């Protein structure tokens, strides 16, 4: 009776006509009970749960005494696995101490992207620099006119630079640099500082310092002409 009842669990919510599983599924994961939708469990193609609940029939899967599908894994950490499957986004508490164990669970469930996000990240510094120019009119109260940033340079350890910027990193000025060596000759294939900052923030870097210098590159005796200044600015990012 328990198995039959489990097949009809919350059947009023409807079933997928193409699947032998009910829309709502009960799981027993290491003694912890979870209730979720069938579509959540198959959200990531080729994952373990996707194979279990799309390639197999209910009769082929292990169950507990109450008919719930049974998984002999860490019941506490499974809540984060399930949260990830719901919207493919990972949100962990601050100072989460079980990250390495959660990565092991992600590997077991064959969630490659989640496992990659949980991989230990190397600490270090990356410096972003750019040269620019601007003009200041004869009326010092008027706004400066900035020109386009010509090139954004990247300085730091090669492996960190490649991890952060990937295919957007131009390595032509320093090709074949070993991963553990440092370089100051890389630059980016785009000219938007905010895009570089977003890339760094996404992988855990934060700005710790910045500096800028300016030099008057051209001036005229004619008070009606604008002065042209050149500048060099650096932003230092750190990941601990």
pTM for the model stands at: 0.53
pLDDT along the chain (240 residues), means of 10: 41 56 96 97 96 94 96 97 95 86 96 89 91 69 63 94 92 89 94 93 93 77 72 92
Full domain range(s) for residue 184: 124-239
Residue 185 shares a structural domain with residue 226:
yes
Record the tokens describing residue 23, joined without a space: 């829309």
CB 235 within 8 A of CB 205: no
Q: Which of 118, 141, 162 is the last residue before a domain boundary? A: 118
Residue 167 shares a structural domain with residue 214:
yes
Residue 3 lies in a domain: no
How much is the pLDDT for 207? 97
Residue 69 lies in a domain: yes
Count of structural domains within the chain: 2
CATH number for the domain including 65? 3.30.710.10
How much is the pLDDT for 4? 41
Residue 143 shares a structural domain with residue 205:
yes
How much is the pLDDT for 136? 67
Dihedral sign (CA 105, 109, 110, 114): negative
């Amino acid at each position: 009776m328990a198995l039959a009842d489990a097949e009809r669990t919350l059947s009023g919510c409807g079933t997928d006509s193409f699947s032998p599983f009910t829309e709502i599924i009960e799981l027993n994961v290491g003694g912890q009970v979870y209730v979720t939708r069938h579509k959540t469990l198959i959200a990531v193609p080729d994952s373990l749960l996707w194979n279990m609940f799309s390639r197999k029939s209910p009769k082929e899967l292990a169950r507990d005494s109450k008919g719930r599908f049974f998984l002999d894994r860490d019941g506490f950490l499974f809540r984060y696995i399930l949260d990830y499957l719901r919207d493919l986004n990972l949100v962990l508490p601050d100072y989460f101490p079980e990250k390495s164990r959660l990565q092991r669970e992600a590997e077991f469930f064959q969630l490659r992207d989640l496992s990659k996000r949980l991989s230990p990240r190397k600490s270090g510094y990356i410096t972003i620099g750019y040269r620019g120019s601007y003009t200041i009119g004869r009326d010092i109260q008027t706004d400066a006119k900035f020109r386009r940033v010509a090139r954004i340079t990247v300085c730091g350890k090669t492996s960190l630079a490649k991890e952060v910027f990937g295919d957007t990193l131009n390595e032509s000025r320093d090709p074949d640099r070993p991963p553990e060596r440092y370089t100051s000759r890389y630059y980016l294939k785009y000219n938007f500082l905010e895009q570089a900052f977003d890339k760094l923030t996404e992988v855990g870097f934060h700005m710790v310092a910045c500096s800028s210098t300016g030099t008057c590159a051209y001036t005229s005796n004619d008070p009606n002409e604008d002065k042209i200044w050149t500048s060099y600015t650096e932003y230092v990012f750190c990941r601990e």
